[in-house]
Amino acid sequence: MLTVVIVAILIALLFDFLNGMNDAANSIATIVSTKVLSPGAAVMWAAFWNFAAFFIFGVHVANTMGKGIVDPNVINPTLILSALIGAVIWVWVCTHYGLPISVSHALIGGLIGPVWFVYGTDALFATGIYKIGLFIVLSPLIGAVLSFMMMSLTMLVFKKKHPLKVEGIFKVMQLFSSAIFSLGHGGNDAQKTMGIIAILLFSVSGTNSFIDTYLYANTGEFHVPLWLTITCYSVIALGTVTGGWKVIKTLGDGLAKLKPVQGFCAETAGALTLIGTAVGGIPVSTTHTITGSIIGVGLTKGIASVKWATAKNIVAAWVLTIPATLVISGLIYLLLSTIFVVS
The DSSP string of 309-330 is HHHHHHHHHHHHHHHHHHHHHH
Res. 173: pLDDT tops 90: no
Q: If you compute the radius of gyration of the chain from its CA atoms, what whole number of angstroms results?
A: 20
Of 69, 29, 13, 97, nearest to 270 by C-alpha is 29
Total domains present in the chain: 1
Q: What pLDDT shows up at residue 94?
A: 79
Count of CB atoms within 10 A of residue 246's CB? Answer: 17
| Out of 20-24, 159-163, 288-292, 326-330, least confident range | 20-24
* pLDDT for the residue numbered 143: 92
Task: Kindly report, residue by residue over 253-312, the tens digit of the pLDDT.
Answer: 554 556 788 888 988 999 999 899 888 888 888 877 888 888 888 888 777 666 666 666
pLDDT confidence tier of residue 46, bands split at 50, 70 and 90: confident
Position 209 in a domain: yes
Is residue 196 situated within a structural domain? Answer: yes
| Cα dihedral 68, 71, 74, 77 in deg (nearest 10) | 0
Q: Is 141 left (phi over 0), alpha (psi -120 to 50) or beta?
A: alpha
Q: What pLDDT is attached to residue 113? A: 95
What is the rounded average pLDDT of the residues 208-230?
90
Those residues whose C-beta lies under 8 Å from the C-beta of residue 288, and which sit 6 or more positions away, are 102, 136, 139, 140, 143, 318
- Asked if 146 and 292 touch (Cβ cutoff 8 Å), the reply is no
pTM, two decimal places: 0.82
pLDDT(54) > 90 = no
Pick from 150, 146, 142, 86: nearest CA to 285: 142
Inside any domain, residue 342: no
Tell me the helix, strand and coil percentages in the chain, rounded to 5: 80, 0, 20
CB count, 10 Å around CB of 320? Answer: 16
Residue-averaged pLDDT of the chain: 83
Q: Are 263 and 174 in contact (CB under 8 A)?
A: yes
The angle formed by the CA atoms of residues 128, 11 and 280, to the nearest 5 degrees, is: 25
Rounded average pLDDT over 17-43: 72
Residue 245 has pLDDT above 60, yes or no: no
Domain that holds residue 111: 2-337
Residue 57 DSSP symbol: -
CA distance 161 to 84: 51
pLDDT of residue 115: 95
